[in-house]
A and B are shown apart, each in its own frame.
Chain A
Amino acid sequence: MANDNHVLLECKGIMKQFNGIQVLKNVDLEVRSGEVHALMGENGAGKSTIIKIITGVYTRDGGEIYMDGKMVNIQTRQDSREAGISVIYQELSLLPALTVTENIYLGQEIKGKFGLPDWKAMRKATKELIDRYNFDIDPDAIVETLGMAKRQMVEILKALAVKAKLIIMDEPTASLAATEAETLFNTIDFLRSKGAAILYISHRLDEVYRLSDRLTVMRNGENVGVLEKEEIEPRRVIEMMIGHKLKNTDDYVRKPVNDANILEVKDLHYKNMLKGISFTAHGGEILGIGGLVGSGRTELISCIYGALKQDSGTITYNGQPTSHHILANMKKGFGLVPEDRRQEGFIPLLSIQQNFALASYDQIAPHGVVSSKKEIELAERGIKDYDVRPPMRNLPVGNLSGGNQQKVVLGRWLARHPNVLLLDEPTAGVDVGVRADLYQYMRELADEGHIVIMVSSDLAELMSVSDRILVIHDGVFFEEFMHENVTQEAILLAGSGVHTEEGRALC
């Protein structure tokens, strides 16, 4: 049975549209038994959508799905489970207070006498399963006490307990440390040797090379090709993901930097995410920071801002060490536009006026008493300067569109003309029109001689907006790119730990 490599899952011509936008265009996908099949593509390429169709979260608009050659009509999650498909999501779905056995059989308990759950039988079955797959897990352990890697094993056991033929793993290493990830890879190797089929979704190239037998690349809702193991090669995969070599073609003029305004970071360490980051940012430039999601970019700018305390290393602004208190750094002219706008950026219940005021009470309330006149002025000016719509200062920010919310968050800082503005994914969930405005505001600030540091996962944005790009890989800056010669492909390669011609190697 093992390694017979017959076609297990076959999707033919899957179509899906949302609100009139075709997100999947005739997608074919084929997974064989006994293989680890990787699915790659940029954000928005349609990876998640096809997975959700296979698992019955979304219903497809067209196309057919076959399991073991038989057509299956997957409309609900239940249909998908019955067809033998199990998913392990990024956020694990285990109940922390229950034991391993209880979690595995939750909702599918083996019934004994009088229809009561037969825990003995379930425990025995769990033990057998663990022995068969040689996992190092105690069936009676409380899930809360297990590390992330072990929890993932429990998820896998859960899939195996229902005799899943296909296990889908969606970014399984996102929450794992390096050693834990290696344990997971060994588990995956072992499952493969037992004949299981695994559909592996990841944007980490190194993992994909390490694991996959075959690889499907998606781009703009289409399957752009399947590579056999011997064909998998970084540059080729990335070319397929991006489609064409994108270069900055605008008539870019590099402006001189302002050396009177310098932020210097030396040998910064934070947990096991940042392992000796060093760089210098100059006034007058927009410094882009690239790298994979979870590579420590957010932690880096949080340390600079004072929201996190680094384990070691120094951060100096114009020769002075920065503080570990946000307020002290704010007074020196630091500002942060955080990644999670809704949770961290603004206060949804408060009005535009009050949200603008939040960072500037030192200016509008010099003795602790707010001057209504100055507060209204600040809000009116902010709304006008940053074109917040609708221009009603008493409207709660929670009621604005994503783009306008971001204008309030950014505008709140820009109104202070910050010396160092840190931005984390500034245009996530912001529509195209507003994006251009945000870029313009950032550029204007840099032109005033201030430092602008932007973390972004949007390659096109990173390339076109930044004067200089530093790409993080494995906790250190790996390569540096200049606006004139950066390509999307090169940023992706550097983020995966492959040196490029376009960039300057930093380690």
Chain B
Amino acid sequence: MLKFKRFMGGSWGQRALLIIIIFVIMAIGERKFFTSANWSSILLAIAIYGIMACGMLFVVLIGGMDLSIGSMAALSGSLLAMNWFNSGYTTAGFAKGLLLGLIAGLVVGLLHGVLVAYLNLPFFVVTLATQYLIYGFVVYITQGGFYYPARQTGFDPFAFMGNAKFLGLAMPVWFFIIVALITGFILMKTTYGRRLYAVGGSNRAAELVGIHTRRHTIIAYIICSLCAAFAGMILVSLNMVAGCTTAKGYEGTVLLAMMVGGINLAGGEGDIFGAVFGALFVGILDNMQILLGIPSDYNKTIQGVIILIAVALNVYQSRKAAGIISPGKARRLAAKAAKEEAAAAGK
């Protein structure tokens, strides 16, 4: 019951309103929005963003950020497609690609974690640097080209990941549901997840109750990179193409999902519901832009405006909660108090 209240009450009310407004615009603008074909494409976008958002949630909760997830997805996706293609479409080649993709995620996450937690480098710099580094590496291994694996007759594990359906839902959606459930379980029920909130809320206080803040940080970055790697492999399977432009710029969209989902980018605040909601929002937003025929040149503009609105709403709310008033209001109050004082002195 409490969870339901938390979902509907407070800032959630505003977010629900936002979704409704979008729906209305869509309904007026484009009849196709409510068709089932359109919804399956929305759900696929949501699934990819959603899996990445689940990973990012861990890092954001401890007060960090990972800007390299787009490149990470391109790397793992390319590794999978390359191995599948180069092996002549054998299951062994597919398995090797899958394994290499996940190992790449593990290594990158470990690198982030060590640089941030042990060398105390700023996460922003570290993950921006690896974003370029990994991108460059993908260009190198793909020689700047793209892999278009052909559909195989019979069981095609590569196409299965992105295109098969189960109980009417596409596999990526199922993967997202599973990742979200696991994320929710870790964050709500395990000591590791609970302690992440403490680390993000106050690193020093967390240390003083015996939490290994560095270890928690490293694991969070590993989970984030692994999620990005997994999402990247699903994405190339979905599109049947892999290369350096795979998932390019997705980190921005995923961060937007975080902000819209009410996840505090300063750490310590946010939950799986916020990440799922954020993914829903950015997925629908993508679709809206396509359906309404908004030229893709404006995509970034719209995302930028939404980021500003989301941040302004968050800041406004936290100020209101903290009882901070605007400078103008403070001046008016001070003037009023001075007037009253003068009147009292006059008597």
Question: Which A residues are within 8 Å of any B CB, using their own CB?
Answer: 305, 307, 325-327, 329-330, 336, 338, 343-350, 354, 357-359, 361, 365, 368-370, 372, 394, 412
> Shortest CB–CB separation between residue B268 and chain A, in angstroms?
5
10 tightest Cβ-Cβ pairs between the two chains A and B: A327-B210, A347-B201, A326-B210, A361-B191, A330-B210, A365-B191, A358-B209, A359-B209, A349-B201, A349-B268
Tell me the complex Cα distance, A327–B212, Å. Answer: 8
Additional pairs, 15, CB under 8 Å, beyond known A344-B205, A358-B195, A412-B209: A327-B211, A327-B212, A343-B204, A347-B268, A349-B264, A349-B269, A350-B197, A350-B268, A354-B198, A358-B198, A358-B206, A361-B191, A368-B190, A368-B192, A369-B189
List residues of chain A with CB within 8 A of the CB of B204.
343-344
Q: Report yes or no: B208 in contact with A338, Cβ–Cβ below 8 A.
A: yes
Asked if B194 CB lies within 8 Å of chain A CBs, one says yes
Tell me the complex Cα distance, A307–B205, Å. Answer: 11
Contact of A346 (CB < 8 Å), options: B197, B205, B212: B205
Which B residue sits closest to A307, measured CB to CB?
Answer: B208
Residue among A305, A329, A348, A358 having the largest count of chain B Cβ atoms under 10 Å: A358
Q: Report yes or no: B210 in contact with A359, Cβ–Cβ below 8 A.
A: yes
Tell me the complex Cα distance, A368–B207, Å. Answer: 18
Task: From known contacts A349-B269, A368-B191, infer whether A326 and B208 are also in contact, taking CB-CB under 8 Å.
Answer: yes
Which A residue sits closest to B2, measured CB to CB?
Answer: A394
Tell me the complex Cα distance, A307–B211, Å. Answer: 12
Which A residue sits closest to B188, measured CB to CB?
Answer: A370
Q: Report yes or no: A361 in contact with B194, Cβ–Cβ below 8 A.
A: yes
Which B residue sits closest to A394, measured CB to CB?
Answer: B2
Tell me the complex Cα distance, A56–B11, Å. Answer: 42
Asked if B202 CB lies within 8 Å of chain A CBs, one says yes
List residues of chain B with CB within 8 A of the CB of A357.
194
- How many residue pairs at the A-B interface have CB separations less than 8 Å? 75
Contact of A370 (CB < 8 Å), options: B191, B207, B209, B212: B191
Tell me the complex Cα distance, A348–B266, Å. Answer: 13
Task: From known contacts A327-B212, A347-B197, A349-B269, infer whether A365 and B190 are also in contact, taking CB-CB under 8 Å.
Answer: yes
> Shortest CB–CB separation between residue A375 and chain B, in angstroms?
9
Q: Report yes or no: A370 in contact with B197, Cβ–Cβ below 8 A.
A: no
List residues of chain A with CB within 8 A of the CB of B205.
338, 343-347
> Shortest CB–CB separation between residue B273 and chain A, in angstroms?
16
List residues of chain A with CB within 8 A of the CB of B268.
347, 349-350
Tell me the complex Cα distance, A344–B202, Å. Answer: 7
List residues of chain B with CB within 8 A of the CB of A368.
190-192
Contact of B208 (CB < 8 Å), options: A325, A344, A370: A344
> Shortest CB–CB separation between residue B151 and chain A, in angstroms?
43
Tell me the complex Cα distance, A327–B204, Å. Answer: 14
Tell me the complex Cα distance, A370–B192, Å. Answer: 10
Residue among B194, B205, B211 having the largest count of chain A Cβ atoms under 10 Å: B205
Q: Report yes or no: A369 in contact with B190, Cβ–Cβ below 8 A.
A: yes
Residue among B2, B202, B210, B269 having the largest count of chain A Cβ atoms under 10 Å: B210
Tell me the complex Cα distance, A349–B194, Å. Answer: 13
CB-CB contacts below 8 Å: B203-236 with A: 204-212
Q: Report yes or no: A348 in contact with B202, Cβ–Cβ below 8 A.
A: yes
CB-CB contacts below 8 Å: B258-274 with A: 264, 268-269
Tell me the complex Cα distance, A412–B211, Å. Answer: 15
Task: From known contacts A326-B207, A327-B210, A344-B208, infer whether A370 and B201 are also in contact, taking CB-CB under 8 Å.
Answer: no
Tell me the complex Cα distance, A347–B211, Å. Answer: 13
List 21 contacting pairs A-B, 8 Å CB cutoff, sorted by A: A325-B210, A327-B211, A327-B212, A330-B210, A338-B208, A344-B205, A347-B197, A347-B205, A347-B206, A347-B268, A349-B197, A349-B201, A349-B269, A354-B194, A358-B211, A359-B210, A361-B194, A365-B190, A369-B191, A370-B189, A412-B209
List residues of chain B with CB within 8 A of the CB of A338.
205, 208
Tell me the complex Cα distance, A346–B191, Å. Answer: 17
Q: Report yes or no: A343 in contact with B189, Cβ–Cβ below 8 A.
A: no
Tell me the complex Cα distance, A365–B268, Å. Answer: 21
Query: Digit string of B175-198 for contact with A (CB within 8 Å is 1, else 0)?
Result: 000000000000001111011011
